[in-house]
Chain A
Amino acid sequence: MKAIQNSEQLLSVRIWRGKKDGRFVTYQVPVRDNQTVLDVVTEVQRLHEPGLSYRFACRVGVCGSCAMMVNGKPRWTCRTHVNKVIDEDVLTIEPLRNLPHIKDLVCDMAPFIDTWQKAGAPFSSTQTRSQPPAKVDPESPTRRAADASLQCINCGVCYSACDVVNWNRDYLGPAALNRAWTLVNDVRHSKRQQTFDMAFSEGGCGSCHSHGNCTRHCPIELSPSESIAGLKRLAFTGLPKEL
């Protein structure tokens, strides 16, 4: 890894073009202060390759739509500074792995979203709109367990990092199981048992090999590994009791 300071310097960026049978194309982009990988991709598209397809929305690490493989690792490109990841002055950018490739840096997120449904992710309230909001003790063990895993924004980085997903597309993956963990600990969720059963069905948390790639790569430092371990523990004890 080499720190870059000189603005005269050019950066070699290898970007995947085309579909699965595409190729890498190398572009030269000026090095700039505080440059993110998303800045580089945007500069390539604006100045060199108008046909380059990629996704982004917020540019500040809120939406999670700009995730790509950067030098072999899945990352939010908007929150990745070039000088933190550059390897021998070359930046290699590919679409997220483990998802169907559409074109250039864009992949189809549908299979990833489908895993959430298969893991029992939709919330279903125990109460109707006319009832007062449920009172949940923020210090209760179930609420604290749910809170620790709650901030996921569905970026797909963990799904892309997971080696089990890579060899077994029936595996639900870390994000969906992390979501299931928050729901089985949410006492307002009326289908906790159903969510738990779905999370433990074929391709569910029993297929996790505890490699920990999901936790290592999560941009907001959540720990799907711990959530999956929590689900596995519940296999012995059953769901936590209502408070």
Chain B
Amino acid sequence: MERRLFVVQRLTAMILAPLVIIHLGLILVAVRDGLTAAEILARTQGSVFWAIFYGLFVLVVAIHAPIGVRKVLKEWTELEDSTINSFCWMLALLLLVLGFRAVAAVV
């Protein structure tokens, strides 16, 4: 179990690295002329590329982050393993729901 989570977290990190760089680059480019909801929607609505890009982003974050948070909670708190695991499952679900909701809103 620990090994599988270790591998999955590293693999998702490898996927996240380029996605984060593109995401940050996009922010710099997008805000050059001021940022408005209309401008964002003009760029994203109907775009299959951005739908897939941010859909993948959300999915990978929802896997990567809870595994890391689980490890931090195990190291720094006295909580039971079952409590930590439940919390991390909920965190994953929350990230998925909020993330896909945001993606659905702009594509």
Which residues on A sit within 8 Å (CB–CB) of B23? none
Which residues on B sit within 8 Å (CB–CB) of A167? 75
What CA separation (Å) do A167 and B71 show in the bound complex?
Answer: 14
The verdict on B10 contacting chain A, using a C-beta distance below 8 Å, is yes
B75–A200 touching, CB < 8 Å: no
B6–A206 touching, CB < 8 Å: yes
10 pairs of A and B residues whose beta carbons are closest in the complex: A200-B3, A206-B6, A235-B3, A206-B2, A235-B7, A235-B6, A202-B2, A168-B75, A200-B2, A236-B7
- Encode contact with A along B1-27: 1 for CB under 8 Å, 0 otherwise: 011011100100000000000000000
Which residues in window 200-243 of A have CB below 8 A to B? 200-202, 204, 206-207, 232, 235-236
Can you name 17 extra interface pairs (CB under 8 A) apart from A200-B6, A206-B5, A236-B7? Answer: A168-B75, A197-B3, A200-B2, A200-B3, A201-B2, A202-B2, A204-B2, A206-B2, A206-B3, A206-B6, A206-B71, A207-B71, A207-B75, A232-B6, A235-B3, A235-B6, A236-B10
How many residues from B make CB contacts under 8 Å with A? 8
What CA separation (Å) do A202 and B10 show in the bound complex?
Answer: 17
Q: How far is the CB of B103 from chain A (nearest CB, A)?
A: 30
Which residues on A sit within 8 Å (CB–CB) of B75? 167-168, 207
Q: Which residue of B lies closest to A164 (CB)?
A: B75
Which residues in window 92-136 of A have CB below 8 A to B? none
Q: How far is the CB of B86 from chain A (nearest CB, A)?
A: 17
How many residues from A make CB contacts under 8 Å with B? 12
**Can you identify 22 A-B contacts, CB atoms within 8 angstroms?**
A167-B75, A168-B75, A197-B3, A200-B2, A200-B3, A200-B6, A201-B2, A202-B2, A204-B2, A206-B2, A206-B3, A206-B5, A206-B6, A206-B71, A207-B71, A207-B75, A232-B6, A235-B3, A235-B6, A235-B7, A236-B7, A236-B10
Q: Which residue of B lies closest to A206 (CB)?
A: B6
Identify whether the interface residues of B are mostly helix, strand, loop, or mixed.
helix
Which residues on B sit within 8 Å (CB–CB) of A201? 2
Which residues on A sit within 8 Å (CB–CB) of B3? 197, 200, 206, 235
Q: How far is the CB of B14 from chain A (nearest CB, A)?
A: 11
Which residues in window 15-45 of B have CB below 8 A to A? none
Q: How far is the CB of A101 from chain B (nearest CB, A)?
A: 23
Q: How far is the CB of B1 from chain A (nearest CB, A)?
A: 8
* Most chain A Cβ neighbours within 10 Å, of B3, B5, B7, B75: B3
What CA separation (Å) do A71 and B77 show in the bound complex?
Answer: 31
Which residues in window 63-102 of B have CB below 8 A to A? 71, 75
Which residues on B sit within 8 Å (CB–CB) of A232? 6
What CA separation (Å) do A201 and B2 show in the bound complex?
Answer: 6
Q: Which residue of A lies closest to B76 (CB)?
A: A167
What CA separation (Å) do A162 and B6 show in the bound complex?
Answer: 21
Q: Which residue of A lies closest to B7 (CB)?
A: A235
- Encode contact with B along A176-210: 1 for CB under 8 Å, 0 otherwise: 00000000000000000000010011101011000
What CA separation (Å) do A4 and B7 show in the bound complex?
Answer: 53
Q: How far is the CB of A239 from chain B (nearest CB, A)?
A: 12
Q: Which residue of B lies closest to A202 (CB)?
A: B2
